[in-house]
């Protein structure tokens, strides 16, 4: 009787072993998938405080004109500094796929100026200098 069932016991044991191995593999695969998210930093200087860095998540330059933003691995986008009364060089920077930290991403701010010309008059007569 024992000889008759030995094949059955061995095959059941193999099935149990396979199930245990598959469960172990599933745990290691889940651990790899559920690992920490990889992030990188985009940072630099604009030279002015309070400049909004459009395109980056909630990023405004600090009191010394520096900005620092954390983005996910593979992030793509365009960053544009914005502040009323100023232009920036470069106007924007495009990032096709971030796979490392991007430091020294600096911009130069220039105050917009206007020239007003004409003649000031008082009661229709030009003012004297």
Which CATH number do you get for residue 46? 2.60.40.2610
Which domain range does residue 14 map to? 1-35
Q: Summarize the chain as % helix, strand, coil (round to 5).
A: 25, 30, 45
**Residue 46 forms part of a structural domain:** yes
Query: Same structural domain for residues 70 and 56?
Result: yes
The tens digit of pLDDT for each residue in 66-79 reads: 999 999 999 999 99
Residue 20: inside a domain: yes
Task: Decide if 120 is inside a domain.
Answer: no
In a shared domain, residues 20 and 48: no
For residue 123, being part of any structural domain is answered with no
My answer on whether 28 and 49 are in the same domain is: no
Looking at the structure of the chain, the number of domains it has is 2
Question: What is the reported pTM?
Answer: 0.65
C-beta atoms surrounding 33 within 10 Å: 7
CA distance 39 to 73: 5
Please write the tens of the pLDDT for every residue from 79-115. 999 999 999 999 999 999 999 999 999 999 999 998 8
Residue 110 tokens read as 């220039």
**Does residue 129 register a pLDDT over 90?**
no
Q: Identify whether residues 43 and 103 lie together within a single domain.
A: yes
Per the prediction, the chain carries an average pLDDT of: 84
Specify which residues 42 forms β-bridges with.
69, 102
Compute the distance between CA of residue 3 and CA of residue 29 in angstroms, rounded to an integer: 40
For residue 69, give every residue at least 6 positions away whose Cβ sits within 8 Å of its Cβ, in sequence order, or none: 41, 42, 43, 53, 56, 57, 59
């Amino acid at each position: 009787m024992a000889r008759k069932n030995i094949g059955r016991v061995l095959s059941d044991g193999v099935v149990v072993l396979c199930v245990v191995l598959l469960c172990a593999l599933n745990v290691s695969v889940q651990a790899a998938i559920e690992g920490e998210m990889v992030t990188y930093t985009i940072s630099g200087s604009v030279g002015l405080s309070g400049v909004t860095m459009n395109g980056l998540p909630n990023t405004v330059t600090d009191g010394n004109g520096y900005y620092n933003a954390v983005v996910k691995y593979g992030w793509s986008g365009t960053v544009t500094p914005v502040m009323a009364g100023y232009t920036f060089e470069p106007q924007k920077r495009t990032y096709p796929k971030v796979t490392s930290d991007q430091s020294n991403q600096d911009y130069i701010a220039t105050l917009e100026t206007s020239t007003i010309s004409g003649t000031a008059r008082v009661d229709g007569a030009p003012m004297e200098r």
